[in-house]
A and B are shown apart, each in its own frame.
Chain A
Amino acid sequence: AQSVAQPEDQVNVAEGNPLTVKCTYSVSGNPYLFWYVQYPNRGLQFLLKYITGDNLVKGSYGFEAEFNKSQTSFHLKKPSALVSDSALYFCAVRDMTGFKTIFGAGTRLFVKA
């Protein structure tokens, strides 16, 4: 079965520092991996996705994610965090039917000024 795991409930970083939000996955076959962000009281917004190609994927708002097949990871990164990046981040994998997206439990990111 397809699944994703986000091992950290919460990540705290200082503004200006690099941030990493971790995600590991378990899939059979080629993974379709995604990151979404939910700002307070807003709907989910798409950040980026990996389907094939370069292992480093660049997305919205300066975020990027690195696909690592040997470690089955898809960590979200940003070189310099902003206070406005504080939100809930979801890693997701599309299931084999392509019909359903399986979300991780989410990681809360707090960026302090």
Chain B
Amino acid sequence: AAGVIQSPRHLIKEKRETATLKCYPIPRHDTVYWYQQGPGQDPQFLISFYEKMQSDKGSIPDRFSAQQFSDYHSELNMSSLELGDSALYFCASNSRRGSLYGYTFGSGTRLTVV
């Protein structure tokens, strides 16, 4: 079965650079959620999208932005990267109609800022 696909798997950037992370949800899933998990920290919800519109917002920094496209994939754009942005960024997807079902996590993108 298809899973949530994230790319790239690993990314190394320098301070003040920008990064774009991608998340491809399971087919027929229309909602995408982004999370950040720093080393030794708990996952923090960043933002979610449904039908290309932002549906919920968590602790996403102003330097970050995200969007969902017509094919339901989502991109997290990170600018002016800081050392503290080094983390695992993972996404999840589900179908809004069955929002208590089928919530699936991606494997994540490990971002290292040097």
Looking at chain B's contact residues, the main secondary structure is: strand
Q: Which residues of A are found within 8 Å of B103, using beta-carbon distances? A: 38, 88, 90, 106
Bin chain B's interface residue count: 20 to 34
When chains A and B are docked, how far (Å) is the Cα of A33 from the Cα of B3? 24
Contact B39 A99 (CB under 8 A): yes
A34 partner, pick from B40, B42, B96, beta carbons under 8 A? B42
Q: Which residues of A are found within 8 Å of B47, using beta-carbon distances? A: 43
Chain B CB within 10 A, most for which of A36, A44, A88, A108: A44
B108 contacts A by Cβ under 8 Å: yes
Q: How many A-B residue pairs have CB under 8 A?
A: 56
30 A-B residue pairings within 8 Å (CB atoms):
A34-B42, A40-B99, A41-B48, A41-B56, A41-B99, A42-B48, A42-B56, A43-B33, A43-B35, A43-B45, A43-B46, A43-B47, A43-B58, A44-B33, A44-B35, A44-B43, A46-B42, A86-B100, A88-B99, A90-B103, A97-B39, A99-B37, A99-B39, A100-B37, A100-B88, A101-B37, A101-B42, A103-B105, A108-B100, A108-B101
